[in-house]
Structure 1
Amino acid sequence: MPALFYHVTQSPIEVVVTNLLTRALGQGWRVELRGQDPARMDWFDQKLWLGAEEDFLPHGMAGGPHDDLQPVLLTTAPQSQGRQAVMTLEGAPVTPEEVAALERVWILFDGRSEPAVQVARDQWRALTGAGVQAQYWAEEDGRWQKKAEK
């Protein structure tokens, strides 16, 4: 499977994360949600607790006694063993080996932040340079449009 780059420009990032996680859990996948900043991952933890009861996404923060049982594991360090998918946020790293071993890898980045866009470009070059297939999706008019594939 290719690495899927999502250029988030219109929706709040937590909405995109929630939508993708809901679909992944519907596929029966266990997902690692990987960021770089522990405080930001705490923020995502709180966002995933909000909403209607029927929309609840079962998840936990890495470092607990039941990490292996969490359908969605929020972390700042790779923990993807036993998971089918990884979603990275805000420049969190992902390796070509991870992409090859997983069902799905999403790389989400804030299109309103030039540093975030630059990090995503660097990740695209590094992954495709290592032979990883990649797709670039941009948010336009409330829909996701595939803009590039390599």
Structure 2
Amino acid sequence: MRVGFYLHGNQPVERVLPQIARAALGQGQRLLVVSGDDAQLAALDKALWEQFPEHFLAHGFAGGPHDARQPVLLADSCANANGAEVVALADGQWREEAATFPRAILLFDENARGSARAIWRQFDGKTDVEREFFEIEGGKWVRKA
């Protein structure tokens, strides 16, 4: 399993998540985006439609009749209704269910840096987990660790 820690700094999540969605879809992977904040999910929905108008980022909200067909599914839990290989925790809250995915991405800002470090340490000594740390610089994700 790979766990990515993505520090988005002063950029709002809805500004940076479409890049992650585009990359996942470009690699033929499905993505589950999780947030416990309905307003954030609505903002992410809008951003996925508008940020890259030249690229169609098909997506939908969990709970619809076509969840299993959605390449990107927006949800309030880690229930993997679309068969996603990647889960992105957009609200910065770690959920233990995320560890069941081949790849989990924890998005967080400066205010949550301390809690992200604590989550990082939860994986100390686990040989079946590869941790990565990325930071947004100049509009691009740069791997730091």
Cα gap change, 1:142 to 1:101, in 2 (>3 Å): closer
Provide the residue aligned with 1:56 in structure 2.
Answer: 56
TM-superposed deviation, 1:13:
2.4
TM-superposed deviation, 1:51:
4.2
Q: Deviations over 1:35-81 (max 9, x none)?
A: 12122112211222224542231000111111111100001111226
Looking at structure 2, the residues matched to 59 and 130 of structure 1 have their Cα atoms a distance apart, in angstroms, of 36
The number of aligned residues is 142
The letter for the 2-side match of 1:147 is K
Identical aligned residues as a percent: 37
Q: TM-score, normalised by structure 2?
A: 0.82
Q: Which runs of 5+ in 2 are unaligned?
A: none
CA RMSD of aligned residues (A): 2.3
The letter for the 2-side match of 1:85 is V
Looking at structure 2, the residues matched to 52 and 27 of structure 1 have their Cα atoms a distance apart, in angstroms, of 17
SS at match of 1:9: coil
Provide the residue aligned with 2:44 in structure 1.
Answer: 44
Q: After the TM superposition, which parts of structure 1 deviate over 3 Å for at least 4 consecutive aligned residues?
A: 97-101, 140-145
TM-superposed deviation, 1:27:
1.0
Q: Judge conservation of contact 2:32–2:73 (CA < 8 Å) in 1.
A: yes
Q: Which runs of 5+ in 1 are unaligned?
A: none
Looking at structure 2, the residues matched to 45 and 121 of structure 1 have their Cα atoms a distance apart, in angstroms, of 28
Q: Deviations over 1:67-126 (max 9, x none)?
A: 11110000111122621111111223233x744641x22111112xx2x22332232222
Q: TM-score, normalised by structure 1?
A: 0.80
Looking at structure 2, the residues matched to 36 and 49 of structure 1 have their Cα atoms a distance apart, in angstroms, of 20
SS at match of 1:92: coil
Provide the residue aligned with 1:23 in structure 2.
Answer: 23
